[in-house]
Structure 1
Amino acid sequence: MSTNNIRNIYCIGRNYRLHALELGNEVPDEPLVFTKPTHAVVPMDGNMVPLPGNVGEVHFELEIVLRIGRAYESGMDTEQCIDGIALGLDLTLRDVQSKLKAKGQPWLAAKGFKGSAPLGEWLPYPGAAVLAETEFMLLRNGVEAQRGKAADMLFSVAELIQYVGEHYGLGEGDIIYTGTPAGVAALHEGDLLQALWADKTVGSCSVTLV
């Protein structure tokens, strides 16, 4: 699936306890779902990603991304829905988000801007057990910034698929950003970001603030 074939982009907020706490947020008792427009997706293939540089801090959030290959139906085995995974960045205008949260307004301006969803290469789905225990990591300029694994999620992959499928619908071509572990921070001009799955680089990009 190329970025041109992506339909809906669902994102899960606060799905790792330590990340919720590092931002001073309550830990949710059910999945917190928001969306991004498809125009947010850009590849992570060694390219340069331009980001807004005049609206406050832009934070990185590395996440496991699920690709849906079969439409969700109530009661089905959720494993049958997934046909690939990738690592992706949920880039966030943190100062903008804080202002929106204070006003009780939607997060679109902070989460859905163009280029806010860099996406690495698609990998075969390894199954729930392997996915849960495989570590993923973000390097910034060669230094570890984030590390996590799906076993640390508050809501499992199966729970996320069921929740999103039941409430909003899931079809072929939809993707789910599953939440980020602790360690998020502001990006700086020229930062090189590398996404690693089981110590193998599966996506990289540099950022420029414009």
Structure 2
Amino acid sequence: MTDQIRNIYCIGRNYRLHALELGNEVPDSPLVFTKPSHAVVPMNGNVVTLPADRGEVHFELELVLRIGKALQPGMKPDECVDGLALGLDLTLRDVQSKLKAKGQPWLEAKGFKNSAPLGGWVPYPGEEALKMSSFKLIRNGEQAQLGNSGDMLFGISELITHIDNAYGLGRGDLIFTGTPAGVAALQDGDVLEAYLDDKLAANCTIKLS
């Protein structure tokens, strides 16, 4: 799965309620961080193994965009996108809190192995059409998160333009677009199911080891 992935850009605090639930300031421009491509692991009914000795591991369900071509003059930004998936931006929350307190980068908390479980790709409907769809995470049979791209602080076109201008964006790059409120610590044996509207888009069982 990682062979065709180049850069993984992630957006922090892109849903107001999620920023507030963690006690963070709401940003006035996109907050971008990255994950290594080796963080990606399939989320297709498999078992995802995560560290059990580094404090809480939090789930964060996100809409993930796959870039199919570079942004060219005259193109609409979302014309660069050729695929959509649901994925998890898993976070070592205790590690992240310590890094934030020291003013250090988040990579250790965000980029560990298996920190980016990813479901299968589906056709991208376009930025406006996507706002008609919701996505949700079901944890052990109960809804944990519910989101809609229309609630993003920074929309898809704005994210693509910002990332392209600041860092560059091309074929094979992924964008994790941010998570809605409802994140929490995972437990060993948790069964996670991610839905786009009412269609199962990704699922896995968590093993803390």
- Normalised by the shorter chain, which TM-score bucket? over 0.9
Letter matched to residue 125 of structure 1: Y
CA contact (8 A) 1:96 1:110 kept: yes
TM-score (normalised: structure 2): 0.98
Q: Which residue of 1 aligns with 2:89?
A: 90
What is the deviation of 1:174? 0.2
Q: Which residue of 2 aligns with 1:123?
A: 122
CA contact (8 A) 1:61 1:91 kept: yes
Question: Identity of aligned pairs, percent?
Answer: 67
What is the deviation of 1:80? 1.5
CA contact (8 A) 1:67 1:85 kept: yes
What is the deviation of 1:128? 1.4
CA contact (8 A) 1:192 1:204 kept: yes
CA 1:32–1:74 in structure 2 vs 1: closer, same or farther (change >3 Å)? farther
CA contact (8 A) 2:56 2:94 kept: yes
Note the aligned Cα RMSD (angstroms). 0.9
For residues 38-187 of structure 1, what are the structure 2 equivalents within 5 Å? 38-73=37-72, 76-187=75-186
CA contact (8 A) 1:48 1:207 kept: yes
Equivalent-residue separation in structure 1 for 2:184 and 2:73 (angstroms): 38
Name the SS of the counterpart of 2:131 in structure 1: helix
CA contact (8 A) 1:69 1:172 kept: yes
Poorly superposed stretches of 4+, deviation over 6 Å: none
What is the deviation of 1:74? 5.3
Unmatched segments (≥5 aa) in structure 2: none
CA contact (8 A) 1:78 1:161 kept: yes
Deviations 1:150-205 (A, max 9, x none): 00000000000000001000000000000000000000000010110011101101
TM-score (normalised: structure 1): 0.98
Letter matched to residue 53 of structure 1: A
Name the SS of the counterpart of 1:26 in structure 2: coil
CA contact (8 A) 1:73 1:165 kept: no
Equivalent-residue separation in structure 1 for 2:153 and 2:199 (angstroms): 25
Equivalent-residue separation in structure 2 for 1:74 and 1:165 (angstroms): 12
Equivalent-residue separation in structure 2 for 1:196 and 1:95 (angstroms): 28
Letter matched to residue 37 of structure 1: P
Name the SS of the counterpart of 1:181 in structure 2: coil
Deviations 1:10-67 (A, max 9, x none): 0000000000000000000000000000010000010101101111100000000000
CA contact (8 A) 1:74 1:166 kept: no
CA contact (8 A) 2:78 2:160 kept: no
What is the deviation of 1:4? 2.1
Letter matched to residue 157 of structure 1: I
Unmatched segments (≥5 aa) in structure 1: none
Equivalent-residue separation in structure 2 for 1:111 and 1:73 (angstroms): 31
Letter matched to residue 194 of structure 1: E
